[in-house]
Amino acid sequence: MELILASSSPRRSHLLSKAGILFRTISPDVDELSAESNPELPPHELAKINARMKAEAVAESHPNSLVLAADTVVYCSGQVLGKPLDPQDAERMLTLLSGNTHEVITGVIWLNHSANSVKEFIGRTWVTFKPLNAQQIRDYISKVPVMDKAGSYALQDRGDEIVERIEGSRTNVIGLPMEPVQQWWAQDCQSRN
């Protein structure tokens, strides 16, 4: 039984490869829910629902495969920060994060249709940003491709320039908390042997 990562994220692929997990990727064709159009949803529910939609979209056409999907949101001062709309939106997000502690939330779904099994996990990590001035924020945006990243930053890409402290899983901040994923992979491998 093969594992499919329902994502086009190179960061998630890198984390799985680094852990020695064999998989292939399929980018799910779904319209994700946004915090703006669903303000009643808590951030962890938003991430979980989006991850579930991605997993189910891929599993529909690959029912005999294991499907792994994730969705990450950044939550700061009562606001859910997804991917920025444009560079000005990225500046707005980084200004909000500057000098503050925020929560990175990743919903993870491990779907096995043939066993009628769904495993869910919500990763939570607290990240404290250094105080940043407007020039530092513009410099960061000019050096790091932030447009496809929740909260407009990447821990693995010049993160030391902006992040002061992390409490919790670093891989969660990158986009895929590996602790449950490795456990699920090991369990599935043992069940097949």
Task: Summarize the chain as % helix, strand, coil (round to 5).
Answer: 40, 25, 35
Per-residue pLDDT of the chain (193 residues; tens, 9 = 90+): 799 999 989 999 999 999 999 999 999 999 888 877 888 889 999 999 999 999 999 999 999 999 999 999 999 999 999 889 999 999 999 999 999 999 999 999 999 988 889 999 999 999 999 999 999 999 999 999 999 888 999 888 888 999 999 999 999 999 999 999 999 998 876 555 4
Residues 79 and 102: their CA atoms lie apart, in Å, by 10
CA–CA separation, 131 vs 122, rounded Å? 28
Q: What is the DSSP string of 64-125?
A: TSEEEEEEEEEEETTEEE-S-SSHHHHHHHHHHHTT-EEEEEEEEEEEEGGGTEEEEEEEEE
Our answer to whether residue 148 is catalytic in this structure is no
Selecting among 71, 86, 148, 188, the annotated active-site residue is 71
